[in-house]
Structure 1
Amino acid sequence: MAFKQFRFNIVLRVLLLTATCLALFITLNSAFTFTPILVAGLIIYQVWSLIRYVDRTNRELAGFLESIRYSEFTRTFQISDSGSSFDELNEAFNDVMKDFQQVRSEREEHFHYLQSIVQDIDVSILAYQRDGTVEMINPAAKKLFQVSNLRNINSLRSLSEKLTSTLLTINPGENKLVKVQDEEDILQLAIFATEFKVKDKVILLSTIKNIQNVLEEQETAAWQKLIRVLTHEIMNSIAPISSLSSTVEGMVKPYASGKKEMQEVDKETIIEIQAALQTINKRSTGLMNFVESYRSLTKIPEPNFAVVKIDELIGNVHTLMKKDVARKNIILVTSVEPDTIEVQIDEQMIEQVLINLIKNSVQALKGRLEAKIQIKSFYNKRGRPTIQVIDNGQGILDDVIDKIFIPFFTTKQSGSGIGLSLSKQIMRLHGGTITAQSKPNEETIFNMTF
Structure 2
Amino acid sequence: MNKFNLNILLRLLVLTATIAVGIVCWIGKYRLGAIALLPLIGLQIYSLYYFINRTNRKLTLFLEAIRYEDFSIRFSADNNLGKSFSALNMQFNEVLEAFRQTRAEREANLKYIDTIIQHVSVGVLSFDVEGKIELINPAAFRLLGIYRLRYLSELKSTFPDLPNLLNELPAGSKILYPTPNGQQLSITATTVRLQGRLVKLISIQNIHGELQKKELEAWQNLTKILRHEIMNSVTPIVSLIGTMREIVELDLVPAVPPDTEAVQDLQEALQTIENRSKGIMNFVNAYRDYTTLPKPVFQMLNLNELLTSVSNLLHSDMKTLGIQYQLHVDPLSIDIHGDQAQLQMVLINLIKNAMDALEQTPSPKISVRGYFGPMQQVVIEIKDNGPGIEEEAIEKIFIPFFTTKKKGSGIGLSLSQQIIQMHGGQLKVDSPPAQGTTFYVLLNN
TM (normalized to structure 1)? 0.50
Aligned pairs for 1:423-434 within 5 A: none
The answer to whether structure 1 residue 196 and structure 2 residue 196 are counterparts is no
Q: Distance in 1 between matches of 2:84 and 2:7?
A: 12
Shift of 1:168: 1.8
Residues 207-250 of structure 1 deviation map (CA, whole Å, 9 limit, x = unaligned): 11111112111110111112212333344445556666777788
Aligned pairs for 1:338-349 within 5 A: none
Aligned pairs for 1:301-380 within 5 A: none
Of 124-133 and 65-74, the range deviating more from structure 2: 124-133
Answer yes or no: is the 8 Å Cα contact 1:189–1:208 preserved in 2.
yes
The answer to whether structure 1 residue 57 and structure 2 residue 55 are counterparts is yes
Shift of 1:35: 3.6
Q: Distance in 2 between matches of 1:112 and 1:22?
A: 67
Answer yes or no: is the 8 Å Cα contact 1:171–1:193 preserved in 2.
yes
Residue 297 of structure 2 corresponds to which residue in structure 1? none
Aligned pairs for 1:24-43 within 5 A: 24=22, 28-43=26-41
SS of the residue 2:125 aligns to: strand
Of 86-95 and 102-111, the range deviating more from structure 2: 102-111
Residue 398 of structure 1 corresponds to which residue in structure 2? none
The answer to whether structure 1 residue 101 and structure 2 residue 97 are counterparts is no
Amino acid aligned to 1:157: K
Answer yes or no: is the 8 Å Cα contact 1:57–1:79 preserved in 2.
no
Residue 71 of structure 1 corresponds to which residue in structure 2? 69
Shift of 1:95: 1.1
Shift of 1:204: 1.5
Q: Distance in 2 between matches of 1:241 and 1:195?
A: 65
Aligned pairs for 1:86-97 within 5 A: 86-97=85-96
Answer yes or no: is the 8 Å Cα contact 1:163–1:180 preserved in 2.
no
Aligned length: 258
Shift of 1:102: 1.4
Q: Distance in 2 between matches of 1:132 and 1:241?
A: 69
Which residue, 21, 46, 49 being the options, matches 1:48?
46
SS of the residue 1:181 aligns to: coil
Aligned pairs for 1:204-353 within 5 A: 204-240=200-236, 259=257
Answer yes or no: is the 8 Å Cα contact 1:127–1:135 preserved in 2.
yes
Q: Distance in 1 between matches of 2:245 and 2:179?
A: 57
Amino acid aligned to 1:196: V
TM (normalized to structure 2)? 0.51
Q: Distance in 1 between matches of 2:201 and 2:219?
A: 36
Q: Distance in 2 between matches of 1:161 and 1:73?
A: 50
Residue 163 of structure 1 corresponds to which residue in structure 2? 162
Q: Distance in 2 between matches of 1:51 and 1:99?
A: 32
Q: Percent identity?
A: 36
Stretches of structure 1 lacking an aligned partner (at least 5 in a row): 263-450
SS of the residue 1:191 aligns to: strand
Shift of 1:91: 0.7
Residues 359-400 of structure 1 deviation map (CA, whole Å, 9 limit, x = unaligned): xxxxxxxxxxxxxxxxxxxxxxxxxxxxxxxxxxxxxxxxxx
Q: Distance in 1 between matches of 2:37 and 2:117?
A: 72
Stretches of structure 2 lacking an aligned partner (at least 5 in a row): 261-445
Residue 112 of structure 1 corresponds to which residue in structure 2? 111
Answer yes or no: is the 8 Å Cα contact 1:5–1:84 preserved in 2.
no
Of 196-205 and 211-220, the range deviating more from structure 2: 196-205
Answer yes or no: is the 8 Å Cα contact 1:162–1:178 preserved in 2.
no
Q: Distance in 2 between matches of 1:187 and 1:165?
A: 19
> Residues 159 and 245 of structure 1: is their aligned pair in 2 closer, same or farther, counting only changes over 3 Å?
farther
Aligned pairs for 1:386-405 within 5 A: none
Q: Distance in 1 between matches of 2:104 and 2:152?
A: 34
Q: Distance in 2 between matches of 1:261 and 1:109?
A: 98
Amino acid aligned to 2:193: K
Q: Distance in 2 between matches of 1:206 and 1:7?
A: 65
Answer yes or no: is the 8 Å Cα contact 1:177–1:189 preserved in 2.
yes
Amino acid aligned to 1:129: D
Answer yes or no: is the 8 Å Cα contact 1:180–1:188 preserved in 2.
yes
Shift of 1:162: 4.2
Q: Distance in 2 between matches of 1:131 and 1:228?
A: 54
Of 229-238 and 86-95, the range deviating more from structure 2: 229-238
Answer yes or no: is the 8 Å Cα contact 1:134–1:152 preserved in 2.
yes
Answer yes or no: is the 8 Å Cα contact 1:6–1:85 preserved in 2.
no
User: In angstroms, what is the RMSD of aligned CA positions?
Assistant: 3.4
Q: Distance in 1 between matches of 2:212 and 2:85?
A: 74
> Residues 247 and 160 of structure 1: is their aligned pair in 2 closer, same or farther, counting only changes over 3 Å?
farther
Residue 420 of structure 1 corresponds to which residue in structure 2? none
